[in-house]
């Protein structure tokens, strides 16, 4: 994370003192209290404000919306969004290694797809604004969970939660991805016209399944515009999925400044987002 922050500042030609706020948005975290951002700022000797945002794999997009809103008011000129997803073993693999039946595989297999990464994103004040739209369905909240000890005091229907124990991923992947795909396709159809869909240069999903991305691209008629190169190489990078895809697309020359892009992640919760703007 430290290396990612320093590299992002260098690419943006900024000094640490230029940052007004640092938002940490990783699902992986070392602390419930205080914010994980506090310890990152401590490690980097940053004097800026800081706090955490948490919303599963949607966390980076939520942080981006907050940053965009704060920048538009003039409160800050530059904001850093950081995540560090290093919990493949803690939240995933122990449960996978203890699979004892095909039934358990149904809600444990997605842990095998978890990857690890750190990203740092600089967002700066600009006259151009991003458009944020969200659609959520709380009735599907128990399809993908990483519960804390004591989680039963915070939910009314714990039946599908905690099947691998506290702090272990439980994900009914087939149900979650099929429901998310249909909901996202409907969301896109309700939001954009066919001409608008065709006009965007690149679409960036949260890549948790290669086949899901392929299906979405075909049904929306996007062809190669749905960028899904991250998952086959690195796995499900959780909150780092979208920013890692943006960075990879830049390195590959697929994404250029001035491109019209859409962030279109689907996340546990169930949460969907459509965020469009000029990169």
Distances (CA, A) of 210 to 203, 215, 223, 231: 14, 9, 14, 7
Q: Does domain 131-278 have CATH number 2.40.30.170?
A: no
Give me the pLDDT at residue 211, please.
84
Question: pLDDT tens, 86-135?
Answer: 876 665 555 555 678 888 888 988 888 889 999 999 999 998 889 999 99
**What is the model's pLDDT at position 90?**
62
User: How far is the C-alpha of 52 from the C-alpha of 81, rounded, in Å?
Assistant: 10
Neighbouring residues of 11: CB distance < 8 A, sequence distance ≥ 6: 122
> What count of residues does the chain have?
279
Q: Are 81 and 25 in contact (CB under 8 A)?
A: yes
- What values do phi and psi take at 147, rounded to 5? -80, 150
Give the residue range(s) of CATH 3.40.47.10 domains in the chain. 2-124, 131-278
pLDDT of residue 111: 84
CA dihedral 97, 100, 109, 118 (to 10 degrees): -20
Q: Which residues of the chain have pLDDT under 70?
A: 88-98
Query: What's the pTM?
Result: 0.94
Q: Which pLDDT score, from 0 to 100, does residue 92 have?
A: 53
pLDDT of res. 91: 54
Q: Which residues contact 91 (CB under 8 A, 6 or more apart)?
A: 27, 28, 111, 114, 146, 167, 168, 169
| Cβ-based burial of 108 (10 A; exposed 0-12, middle 13-18, buried ≥19) | buried
Annotation: CATH topology of 2-124: Peroxisomal Thiolase; Chain A, domain 1 (3.40.47)
| E strand map for 175-265 | 202-204, 260-263
């Amino acid at each position: 994370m430290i290396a990612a922050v320093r590299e992002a500042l260098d690419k943006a030609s900024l000094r640490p003192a230029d940052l007004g706020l640092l938002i940490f948005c990783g699902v992986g975290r070392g602390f419930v209290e205080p914010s994980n951002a506090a310890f990152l700022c401590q490690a980097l000797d940053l004097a800026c404000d800081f706090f955490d945002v948490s919303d599963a794999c949607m966390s980076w997009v939520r942080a981006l919306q907050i940053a965009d809103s704060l920048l538009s008011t003039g409160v800050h000129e530059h904001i850093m969004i950081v995540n560090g997803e290093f919990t493949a073993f803690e939240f995933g693999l122990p449960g996978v290694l203890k699979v004892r039946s095909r039934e358990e595989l149904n809600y444990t297999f997605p842990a095998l797809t978890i990857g690890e990464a750190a990203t740092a994103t600089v967002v700066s004040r600009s006259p151009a604004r991003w458009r944020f739209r969200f659609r959520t369905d709380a009735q599907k909240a128990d399809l993908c969970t990483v519960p804390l000890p004591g989680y039963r005091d915070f939910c009314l229907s714990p039946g599908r939660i905690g099947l691998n124990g506290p702090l272990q991923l439980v994900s009914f992947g087939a149900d979650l991805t099929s429901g998310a795909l249909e909901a996202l396709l409907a969301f896109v159809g309700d939001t954009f016209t066919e001409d608008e869909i065709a006009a965007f240069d690149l679409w960036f999903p949260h890549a948790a399944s290669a086949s899901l991305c392929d299906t979405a691209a075909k049904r929306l008629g996007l062809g190669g515009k749905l960028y899904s190169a991250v998952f086959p190489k690195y796995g499900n990078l959780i909150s780092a999925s979208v920013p890692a895809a943006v960075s990879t697309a830049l390195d590959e020359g697929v994404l250029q400044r001035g491109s019209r892009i859409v962030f279109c992640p689907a996340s546990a919760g169930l949460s969907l987002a459509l965020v469009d703007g000029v990169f």
